[in-house]
Amino acid sequence: MVLRAKTKIKGKGKGKGFTRKRGSGFPVRKRFCRFCVDKTKTIDYKDIKTLESFIKDRGRIVSRRSSGNCAKHQRRIAVAIKRARFLSLLPYIVYR
Domain residue extents for the chain: 34-87
Distance of CA 18 to the CA centre of its chain: 22
Q: How many CB atoms lie within 10 A of CB 85?
A: 18
Instruction: Reply yes or no on domain 34-87 having CATH 4.10.640.10.
Output: yes
What type of residue is 85? Answer: R
First to last CA, the chain: 38
For the whole model, what pTM was predicted?
Answer: 0.68
Cα R_g (the chain), whole angstroms: 18
Distance of CA 72 to the CA centre of its chain: 11
Q: Over its length of 96 residues, how does the chain's per-residue pLDDT go in tens digits? A: 666 666 655 555 555 555 555 566 677 677 789 899 998 889 999 999 999 999 999 999 999 999 999 999 999 999 999 999 999 999 998 887
CB 80 within 8 A of CB 72: no
